[in-house]
Amino acid sequence: MTNYRQEPLIYQPNSAIRLSVAKNRLHRYSFKSEIKPLNIELQQLEQLLNHRFNNPSLLSSALTHPSYLHESAGTDGDDYQRLEYLGDAVLGMLLAEMLYHAYPDWDEGSLSRFRARLAGQDVLADRARMLGIGDFIFLGRGEVLTEGRAKDSILSDILESLLAALYLDGGLNAARNMVERLFLELVADPQALTLGRDSKSELQELLSACNAPLPEYKLVEESGPPHDRNFQFQVLLDGRAVGEGQGKSKKNAQQAAAAQALGNIKVVDGQIV
């Protein structure tokens, strides 16, 4: 296996590659769906990933949205969904490894919360945009027309599927190199990801990372005159109250309850207790 040289952490595909991709797509567009790019385009993506694939079909599948196959009857290959499933696990393990070594004094709950934030859809989509992955995704016509290349949901899934493809083709080190390249600066500066974050989103990401059910917010009291209402909410996990908060609006009360829940929840062996 031949690997390309490692590029700097902050890496953008050069304009020549973007222009070449754009021209090829303009000349090879079908009414039903986009025709898969020629091998030259996959080679360009290999350069961005710093990895030459021994099995190019892995790379092709990792870039194929289900809508492309749905609109292209008779097209060989698989979409990215199975790879995305594997990539989610690979990413979680490698982020856990990075955080374990970066923050030896953090407890399990703190590590789990930060990992959940790093693996959030918005962060993954941002990392995918940094690489310019959107230019290479195989989409059906409907997704193209609704700007699927810019959707956080698609970009985050594709990034995870690419990590799985790297893992299967080049082993754990190939995936690790990509994760370190994309996330090292974020791991080194936790505050950069927490600015402007809301407690409800943070709680949901933590529960999702631990494969726990989503929280339920229960209004337990509403008081005060119509012009000055007070709300009190509990946040429940499996029917158990783990936080409570008050506020002048339902939204603020729920945020306060979620913030308290984050302080009360403990993570042991990857499970909420």
Active site residues: 88, 160
Angle at the Cα of 133 (from 68 to 166), degrees rounded to 5?
Answer: 90
